[in-house]
Amino acid sequence: MNLSVKEAARLLSVSEKTIYRWIQKEVIPAYRIHEQYRFNRAELMEWATSRRVGATPESLLSPVTPASPQISLGAALEAGGIFYRISGSSRDKVLADIVTHLRLADGIDRDKLLKLLIVRENLCSTGIGNGIALPHLRNPGILPISRATVTLCFLENKVDFHALDGLPVDTLFTIMAPDLPAHLFLYARLNYLLQRPSLRRVLAIPGGREEILTTLRTEEAALRI
């Protein structure tokens, strides 16, 4: 909880009045602490990006600081892998099966990771609409993740993720990042590219691993950011 209403308004380029209106409508992730509202920066930027609030935050489409290493979404997906026919009749069971597929370093507690992913979903669904969800940790860096990965999973059956549009989910990109800047970058870039018709088409089929990777890399290269 590290942002005030004033800071949130400045970050999203809107008025404080607009922030309060969103709070009253319960559409923005906010927390009331000691009679004041506070915001988690990562949650706020995820919310803004997924709902296209204001302009696309270009600061998230490129490394956060000059010292940050360049992150390639294509490389992160190749490292994380693409998996088909993930089983599970509920959200939590699907997440449990996904966790078994994640390419994690030795020593990472997968049971703890699953619990953290479920906690994140209980706070606010990571379903971004059109049958797609982006599960991830609420606080990147809480586990010793050594490299940024994105794991794409296609479900055997559609599952309710309580997405904003009410549609069940069958395609999930699980983001694992070593820190907040890497997480925000991958989240924003992936969310942005998922609007591209060519990528949406290959995901809807779903296409083969090489076809998906090639399409994503092509769209990412076209960003020129």
Measure the CA–CA gap between 37 and 135, rounded to whole angstroms: 25
| Cα dihedral sign, 41-191-113-117 | positive
Give strand pairing partners of 60. Answer: none
Q: Which one of 101, 136, 162, 183 is the catalytic residue? A: 136
Radius of gyration for the alpha carbons in the chain, expressed in angstroms and rounded: 17
183 is catalytic: no
Measure the CA–CA gap between 42 and 149, rounded to whole angstroms: 18
DSSP string, the chain: --B-HHHHHHHHTS-HHHHHHHHHTT-S--EEETTEEEB-HHHHHHHHHHTT-SS--GGGSS-SSTTSPP--HHHHHHHH-EEEEE--SSHHHHHHHHHHH----TT--HHHHHHHHHHHHHHS--EEETTEE--B-SSTTSS---S-EEEEEEEEEEE----TT---EEEEEEEE-SSHHHHHHHHHHHHHHTTSHHHHHHHHTT--HHHHHHHHHHHHHHH--
Active-site residues: which are they?
136
